Amino acid sequence: MGESHKIAALVLNSVSHDIRVCKEADGLARAGFEVTILGIRDRRDRKPISLRESGVRIIRADPAGWEMYERYRGRMYSSLFAAGSFLLIGVLSVVRPTGLAVDDLILRAVDAIGVIGLFALLASPVAAIWYFRRSFRYWRFARNKAEMLGGGGHEGAASIFAGPRILLRRCSSFARGFVILFRTVRRSARMQRHLHAELDRLKPRFVHCHDLPTLPIGDAWCRRHPGVALVFDSHELFEEVAGLHPVLRWYWRRVLRRQAPRVDGFVTVNQSIAEEHRRRYPALPRAVVVRNAALLLERIPRDDGRLRKAAGLDGCSRILLYQGGFAKERGLENLVRASGDLPSGWVLVMMGWGNLENHLRQIAADVDPDGDRIHFIAPAPQSELRIWTAGADLGVIPYENTCLNHWFCSPNKLWEYAAAGVPILASPFPEMQREILDWGIGRLLPERLLGGDLATLLESIDAHEVSRMASACADFMRADHWEVYQERLDDLYRGLASSSADGRVD
C-alpha cells in the first residue's frame, strides 16, 4: 500500500480459537496494514503475547489479576467499615456525652433483659440472615424436586400461591438483571483501563471492535483521539443472543443506539443481520458483509481415517458429525436424544467442548446405554479441523429457534463442513436454508427435532445423494470462500485510510 497503517483490534477472548478474528487480521496484514489484536487470557490460551505467521501480534490481558484486585479491594472496604464502627463505639465509651454513654445503655439493657437476652438481641440479625439463606436453599431444592416429580397432588397449593410466586420470581429476576448489569459495566470499566493503556502505547489509526461489548471501549478511546477511525464488527445480533437477560438486552440496545453515529465503518456476517441493524440503528454506516466463509484450498481434503480412529469406529460406519461448542439452545439435547434411534450403520460423533458436555453424555447414556450410536471425542486443532471433518458422511447444525440471533445465524460450520466435502443437515433458518437449497449442499432438518425425525431423514438419503451433495459442496466453495469477503474488508480500510489521511494519531 505504500505505507503501513496501524490497526488495533479489540476482542474479549484469547483470540487464537476465534477463526473469524484471525482470518480478518491475517488478510489485512497481507494487504499492508500493521495489525495488533488486543485480547484477554483464558483457559484456552494464557500466553501474554503471540505472533502469527502473517506478522499479526496478539497481546492478551490478564483479567484474573483484576478480579483478585477487586476482591481484595472490597474486603479492604469491609474491614475499614468494621474498624470505623468499633472505633466509633470506643470513642463514645470514652467521651461519654450526656445521654449517650454506651456503657450505661448496655448496663440498662442487661438489667432489662439479662446477659443472655442481650447476646441474643445482638446475634439475632446475623441469625436471621443465616436462616433466610438456609430457607432459600431449601425452597430451591424443594422446587427442583417438585419439578422432577411433576408436582403430583399439589395442584391446589400451587394455584393458591401461583400469583405471589410468579410476582416474586419476576421481581427477583428483575433485580438479578441489574446485578448482572452492574457486573457487566464494572468488568467493562476494568477492561477499558487496561486496553486504553495498550492503545495509548500502540497509537493506532484504526480501532476495530469485534462484537458489541468492545464498542464502548473503542469508542471512548477514539473520542479522545479524533483522527482515529472506529470500525464495528458485529459477529451476531448481540442484543438478541440466547439466554441474555432482558435488562442486558435493553442496555446493549441503548449502547449501540448511542454510539452508532460515531462508527466510521460497519462490518457484519450476513445480509439478514445487516438489514436488521439498519432497521434498528439507522445511524450506522452501510454494512460491509463479510461472511464466515472458509479459506479456499486447491482441493477438498481426503479422509485419512483420524476421525474414525478417535471415535473407535470401523470403516463400515456412516458418520453424522457435530463439531463445535456444546452450548445451550443449539439443539444438542434433542440431537443426542434423537440419535438413540439412528438407522443401522449410522453413528453420531460429537466433536467439541463446553459446559453442556456432561449433560449431553448423560442423555447419551440414557438413550444409547451400549454406546454403539453416540460417541464423544475431543475438539480438533483449528489448523487440522478440515481434515478431521472430511472423515464424516454428513455434518449437522441443529440450532433451535429460541432467539432472533439463531434465526439469522450463518455459523462457521456451514462453510467448514462444505470445505471438507461434507454435506449438511441444518435447521431451516433463512441464511442456512438459502445456501443449502440454492447450492444443493444438504438437507433441511425439521425446525424442532423430535422422536424419529432424524432417523426418517437419514433413511431417505442414499449413498448416491451423499455423493452428489459432496460434489455440490466443492462448487459452493469455489464460488463462496473467504478471499471474496476479505477483498471487501480491504476495500473498506483503504477507503477509510484515504478519507482520513489528515487524521493520524501522533
The answer for 46, left when phi > 0, alpha when psi is -120 to 50, beta otherwise, is alpha
pLDDT for 1 equals: 44
- Cell triple for 337: 436424544
Express each pLDDT in 66-99 by its tens digit: 554 555 455 444 444 545 544 454 444 444 444 5
Query: Mind listing the pLDDT tens digit for each residue in 467-481?
Result: 999 999 999 999 999
The C-alpha atoms of residue 382 and residue 17 are separated, in whole angstroms, by 7
**242 confidence band (pLDDT: 50, 70, 90):** confident
Give 3-state DSSP helix, strand, coil % of the chain, rounded to 5: 55, 15, 30
Q: Which residue has the higher pLDDT, 185 or 442?
A: 442
Nearest Cα residue to 307 out of 335, 347, 363, 359: 347
Instruction: Round to the nearest angstrom and report the end-to-end CA distance of the chain.
Output: 20
* 423 pLDDT more than 60: yes
3-state secondary structure 143-205: HHHHHHHCCCCCHHHHHHHHHHHHHHHHHHHHHHHHHHHHHHHHHHHHHHHHHHHHHHHHCCC
pLDDT given at position 281: 97
Q: What is the DSSP secondary-structure string of 62-127?
A: -HHHHHHHHHHHHHHHHHHHHHHHHHHHHHHHHH--TT--HHHHHHHHHHHHHHHHHHHHHHHHHH
pLDDT at 484 over 80: yes
How confident is the model over 120-166, as pLDDT tens digits?
A: 555 555 555 554 555 555 445 444 444 443 433 334 434 434 445 55
Task: Annotate 83-107 with b (16+ C-beta within 10 A) or e (fewer).
Answer: eeeeeeeeeeeeeeeeeeebeeeee
Percentage of residues of the chain with pLDDT beyond 90: 58
Q: Residues 320-358: pLDDT tens digits? A: 999 999 988 899 999 999 999 899 999 999 999 988 999
CA pair distance 26, 16, nearest whole angstrom: 12
Q: Tell me which H or E stretch contains 484.
A: helix 482-499
Sign (positive/negative) of CA torsion 13, 19, 20, 26? positive
Cross-sheet strand order for the sheet of 6-10:
49-51, 57-61, 34-40, 6-10, 206-210, 229-234, 265-268, 287-289
The mean pLDDT value for 268-289 works out to 96
Residue-level pLDDT at 246 = 87
Are 446 and 414 spatial neighbours (Cβ–Cβ below 8 Å)? no
pLDDT confidence tier of residue 184, bands split at 50, 70 and 90: confident
Helix (H, G, I), strand (E, B) or coil at 338: helix
Asked whether the predicted pLDDT for residue 403 surpasses 80, the reply is yes
Exposure of 196 by Cβ count < 10 A (0-12 exposed, 13-18 middle, 19+ buried)? Answer: middle
Q: Which residues contact 440 (CB under 8 A, 6 or more apart)?
A: 468, 469, 472
| For residue 458, pLDDT beyond 90 | yes
Say whether pLDDT at 189 is over 90. no
What lies within 8 Å, CB to CB, of 486 at 6+ separation is 23, 24, 27, 290
Give pLDDT, residue 28: 96
- pTM of the full predicted structure? 0.76
Helix (H, G, I), strand (E, B) or coil at 44: coil
Could you give the percent of the chain with pLDDT greater than 70?
A: 76
pLDDT higher than 80, residue 409: yes
Mean pLDDT of 186-202: 89
Average pLDDT, the chain: 82
* Residue 273, C-alpha cell as written in the block: 443481520
Cα 273 to Cα 470: distance, rounded to the nearest angstrom: 28
The DSSP 8-state label assigned to residue 45 in this structure reads B
Residue 125's pLDDT is 54
Q: Which residue has the higher pLDDT, 396 or 110?
A: 396
C-alpha cell at 373: 450410536
The pLDDT value recorded for residue 230 is 97
Q: Please report, for residues 22, 127, 351, 420, the alpha-carbon distance to residue 300 in angstroms, rounded to integers and kept in the order given.
A: 22, 68, 20, 6
Q: What are the structural domains, with CATH classification, of the chain?
A: 6-61+186-293+485-499 (3.40.50.2000), 79-181 (no CATH), 306-480 (3.40.50.2000)
Q: CB of 448 within 8 A of CB of 393?
A: no
What is residue 148's predicted lDDT score, i.e. its pLDDT?
Answer: 42
Residue range 406-434: mean pLDDT, rounded = 95
Is 42 exposed, middle or buried (CB count within 10 Å of its CB: 0-12, 13-18, 19+)?
A: middle
Sign, CA torsion 80/81/87/88: positive
- pLDDT value of position 190: 82
- In tens, the pLDDT along 298-330 reads 788 889 999 999 999 987 899 999 999 998 889
* pLDDT score, position 93: 46
Using DSSP bridges, classify how beta strands 229-234 and 265-268 pair: parallel, antiparallel or unpaired. parallel
